[in-house]
Amino acid sequence: MKFRFLKSETWIALVTIVLLTILTHGTQLARLGYYRDDWYLLWNGFTRGFQSIAPIFEGDRPFMGVVYSWVYRFLGNDPLSWHIYALVLKLAGALAFFWLLRMVWPKRDLATTAAVFLFVVYPGFLQQPNANTFQNHLFGYFIALLSIAFTIRAIQTRRLWEAVLLSVFAVLFELIYLNIYEYMIGLEAVRLLLIGYLTFGDEAGSLKEKLIRTLKRWAIYIPAVLAVLYWRVFIFESTRQAMNMGSLLSSYSSSPIKGLFYLLIEFALDLLESIVSAWTVPFYAFMRAATYKAIVYSVFYAALAVGLFLLYYFFIKRRNLVFEDEKTSQRSFVFLWMGLLATIATILPVITAGRTIYFSNQFDRYTLQATLGISLFIVGFVFYGLRANLRVPFLAFLMVLGVMTHYHNQTYHQEFWRLQRELWWQLSWRAPDIADDTVLVAMLPPGYRLAESYEIWGPANIIYRPESEILKIPAEVLNRDTAQIIIRGANDEREQRGAQIIRDYDKALILSMPTAQTCLNAIDGQNYVLSQSEDLLVVQLAPYSKIDRIESNAPSHLPPSSIFGAEPAHTWCFYYQKMSLARQIGDWGEVARLSDEALANGYKPLDLSEWMPVYEGYVNTNRPKDAKQIAKIIKSDKGLQTSICTQLLTLPSEKNYNSADIYATLCEVP
């Protein structure tokens, strides 16, 4: 009797959904961190407190800022807390979706559960690892699904008090999610669609009576929609151009035919991308770059997911719960057309707002609210369009694609977080302090490039100016446009997410990590050695990097472990950064000592350019035999040798630097 629930299909389905969600999204949480837009929030919260977060969003989504600030107050700076919270929201959304489907189609066990499985593994939304930023989206979507589920339950219950209470909460949650993310407004069309389906399908009366009943039931939700729209269009003035309704309406009115044509084309493309391409494009992109080890692991997790699905399927089949109406394709047509209409309704507001869906730069986030419709549409296609013997294999195939894609996506974010941690820990070893007003310009390896300046100034000020509520160390990302600004030595000033940024590019310090295997290079514009893997922009701008912006004699600043985790092991890059620091102040004895210690411990560089401080240390401490051995290694790469020797010819004379011997041993032909 204690385990009677294990014989219940509903409980088995719920347990399977929970396990599938954890398997797909929760197995690697401890190795994920912070990314992109997380950093301006973290800087505000870390230096100014949680109360500073809400004002950041006053210019676009004020209510979301309030929710965000309170979530930060409870979760704090630990990245794992945010990832667990996001996973809980993902699971909560899946369970709300399951409840909703079971109320609408109580006798369609396999079809409704399969739709939730697809909802969980859908690979078109890949921002789950970016938990700090996208927990807002997950929370808003969960609240929206819960609101619609309350509406359906209010219609179905015979108890007046329950119907009233559920309707009140449905309207309240409607207001909450619309004020968090207004572009999810298409879900209100889904609410109307489901109300109409239940009214026309399950109740008696004429067509006119059913239509009136449907509109009456939907009417209580109209005021919230109108209020949000009125506030957005006529009262609220967004400081972000992309969210300014006046600008949007003006763009359509100025060229209505062109705007309509663009809308139709983009809508058709995004509909195809969200339903079809989402299952193939990200998968293909990840598989091209994946290691064999990652592929093996992803196949393993996909096999486990398919195993869960098959266990559930054989459970209900053995108990004769795969009802005849689920085997009859005609009765599954409802999933097809309702799923298509729901997908159209949830994507159309995004396109109308001038946004589009594509699978890079976080623009896949606009598929999230469409997962309800996409899942229903695919289930409708499977049970209506495929023969009975192909349905389970096709669903299993989609689960394999979804789980493998999410695994590789998490692997990518793990590496991105590792590189970010390496950047800031290595900089803290290299630079005890950084002068105020230094413009930090940082570049990570290809595939992990930083997109916004707050991805640099956020962590830099958390580490070096944790007590200052004013941004002391500004930053900029490196690209073609910013390269020209650095060369000109221009100045600029702007406000960005709560921070007033003043930049003097004559004070730029360029940081580069050209590959995932190289150490961070804080470039000395007067005496630089660059990896042969270095980006051409860095090569071009290296002379403009001011190494004296590093305050070498100041007390050290270490990244807070609450954000950046424990300090990495002191392997080669630790010694390289300490050698580079000693090199900056001309302490060649310390450079040689660190070199000896690193080599004695078995640490060596993977990039030949990183042998240069070792070589210089040995030459400048009169150790010619050791210097010649290192020179031989450097000269094995002729391109590196040429670039170093060319740079040595232009070096100004430095005290305590034996440039003649350095050049002779490394560059002159014997």
Q: Residue 647's domain is classified under what CATH number?
A: 1.25.40
Higher per-residue pLDDT: 359 or 508: 508
| Tokens linked to 332 | 């599954």
Q: Tell me, what's the pLDDT at 37? A: 92
Q: Rounded to whole angstroms, how far apart are CA atoms 559 and 87?
A: 27
Asked if residue 577 and residue 630 are part of one domain, the reply reads yes
Is residue 428 assigned to a domain? no
Q: Tell me, what's the pLDDT at 327? A: 47
| Tokens linked to 182 | 């207004």
- Over 70: is that where the pLDDT of 254 sits? no
- Over 80: is that where the pLDDT of 255 sits? no
pLDDT category of residue 359 using cuts at 50, 70 and 90: confident
In the block, tokens 């921002």 appear at 127
CB within 8 A of 367, min separation 6: which ones?
122, 124, 125, 274, 278, 347, 357, 374
What distances in angstroms separate CA 256 from CA 49, 250, 259, 348, 573, one per listed residue?
46, 10, 5, 17, 58
Give the closest residue to 335 by CA, choosing from 368, 370, 375, 305: 375
Q: Rounded to whole angstroms, how far apart are CA atoms 19 and 26?
A: 10
Mean pLDDT of 36-59: 92
- Given a contact cutoff of 8 angstroms between Cβ atoms, the answer to whether 323 and 113 are in contact is no
Asked if residue 588 and residue 481 are part of one domain, the reply reads no
Q: Tell me, what's the pLDDT at 132? A: 95
Is residue 562 assigned to a domain? no
Asked if residue 535 and residue 606 are part of one domain, the reply reads no
- Over 70: is that where the pLDDT of 669 sits? no
Angle at 523 between CA 521 and CA 526, to 5 degrees: 150
Mean pLDDT of 275-293: 94
Length of the chain: 670
Q: What is the DSSP letter of 277?
A: G
The answer to which of 293-302, 438-447, 636-645 has the lowest mean pLDDT is 636-645
Structural domain for 579, as ranges: 569-670
- Over 80: is that where the pLDDT of 406 sits? yes
- Over 60: is that where the pLDDT of 248 sits? no
Is residue 421 assigned to a domain? no
Q: Tell me, what's the pLDDT at 3? A: 52
Is residue 496 assigned to a domain? yes
Asked if residue 657 and residue 597 are part of one domain, the reply reads yes
DSSP letters, 71-93, are HHHHHTT-HHHHHHHHHHHHHHH
Q: Encode 361-374: b = buried (16+ Cβ within 10 Å), e = exposed.
A: ebebbbbbbbbbbb
* Cα four-point dihedral sign 623, 626, 628, 631: negative
- Given a contact cutoff of 8 angstroms between Cβ atoms, the answer to whether 175 and 224 are in contact is yes
| Tokens linked to 474 | 């500004």
Asked if residue 41 and residue 66 are part of one domain, the reply reads yes
Is residue 134 assigned to a domain? yes
pLDDT category of residue 247 using cuts at 50, 70 and 90: low
DSSP letters, 445-484, are PTTS---STHHHHHHHHHHH-TT-SS--S-EEE-SHHHHH
- Over 70: is that where the pLDDT of 105 sits? yes
Residue 65 burial (CB count, 10 A) = 20
Mean pLDDT of 156-176: 95
In the block, tokens 């301006």 appear at 40
Asked if residue 165 and residue 82 are part of one domain, the reply reads yes
Asked if residue 133 and residue 32 are part of one domain, the reply reads yes
Q: Tell me, what's the pLDDT at 239? A: 63
Q: What is the pLDDT of residues 1-11, one digit of tens each?
A: 455 555 688 99
Is residue 425 assigned to a domain? no
Q: Rounded to whole angstroms, how far apart are CA atoms 104 and 623?
A: 82
Q: Tell me, what's the pLDDT at 325? A: 46
* Cα four-point dihedral sign 462, 463, 464, 466: positive
Higher per-residue pLDDT: 413 or 647: 413
pLDDT category of residue 324 using cuts at 50, 70 and 90: very low
Q: Rounded to whole angstroms, how far apart are CA atoms 208 and 133?
A: 46
Report the predicted TM-score, pTM, of the whole model to 2 decimal places: 0.92
Q: Tell me, what's the pLDDT at 265? A: 86
Q: Rounded to whole angstroms, how far apart are CA atoms 498 and 475?
A: 15
The answer to which of 137-151, 223-237, 440-454 has the lowest mean pLDDT is 223-237
Higher per-residue pLDDT: 497 or 188: 188
pLDDT category of residue 499 using cuts at 50, 70 and 90: confident
Q: What is the pLDDT of residues 211-234, one digit of tens each?
A: 999 999 999 999 999 998 888 877
- Over 80: is that where the pLDDT of 244 sits? no
DSSP letters, 321-376, are -S-HHHH-GGGGHHHHHHHHHHHHHHHHHHHHTT----SSTTGGGGGGGGHHHHHH
Q: Rounded to whole angstroms, how far apart are CA atoms 127 and 412?
A: 12
Q: What is the pLDDT of residues 546-580, one digit of tens each?
A: 999 999 999 999 999 999 999 999 999 999 999 99
Kindly report the three-state secondary structure assignment for every residue of 505-542: HHHEEEEECCCCCCCCEECCCCCCCCCCCCCHHHHHHH
Mean pLDDT of 413-428: 97
- Domain endpoint, select from 495, 525, 552: 552
Mean pLDDT of 470-496: 92
Q: Rounded to whole angstroms, how far apart are CA atoms 355 and 191?
A: 23
Q: Tell me, what's the pLDDT at 146? A: 97
Query: Can you name the residues that pair with 439 across neighbouring β-strands?
Result: 508
Asked if residue 585 and residue 614 are part of one domain, the reply reads yes
CB within 8 A of 544, min separation 6: which ones?
486, 487, 489, 508, 510, 525
Asked if residue 440 and residue 361 are part of one domain, the reply reads no
Q: Tell me, what's the pLDDT at 471? A: 95
User: Both ends of the chain: CA-CA distance in Å?
Assistant: 90
The structural domain count of the chain equals 3
Asked if residue 659 and residue 612 are part of one domain, the reply reads yes
pLDDT category of residue 521 using cuts at 50, 70 and 90: very high
Higher per-residue pLDDT: 281 or 209: 281
Higher per-residue pLDDT: 669 or 159: 159
In the block, tokens 């969200």 appear at 274
| Tokens linked to 211 | 């239509």
Asked if residue 649 and residue 538 are part of one domain, the reply reads no
Q: Rounded to whole angstroms, how far apart are CA atoms 75 and 588?
A: 46
Alpha-carbon Rg of the chain, whole angstroms? 29
- Over 80: is that where the pLDDT of 670 sits? no
Asked if residue 576 and residue 546 are part of one domain, the reply reads no
Is residue 294 assigned to a domain? yes
In the block, tokens 């229903």 appear at 376
Specify the 3-state DSSP secondary structure of 53: helix
In the block, tokens 């795969």 appear at 322
pLDDT category of residue 235 using cuts at 50, 70 and 90: confident
- Domain endpoint, select from 519, 552, 585: 552
Mean confidence (pLDDT) of the chain: 90
pLDDT category of residue 364 using cuts at 50, 70 and 90: confident
Higher per-residue pLDDT: 630 or 659: 630
- Given a contact cutoff of 8 angstroms between Cβ atoms, the answer to whether 359 and 277 are in contact is yes
Query: Can you name the residues that pair with 492 across neighbouring β-strands?
Result: 503
pLDDT category of residue 245 using cuts at 50, 70 and 90: low
Q: Tell me, what's the pLDDT at 326? A: 47
- Domain endpoint, select from 381, 412, 443: 412
Q: What is the DSSP letter of 232?
A: I
Is residue 575 assigned to a domain? yes
Query: Can you name the residues that pair with 508 across neighbouring β-strands?
Result: 439
Residue 330 burial (CB count, 10 A) = 9
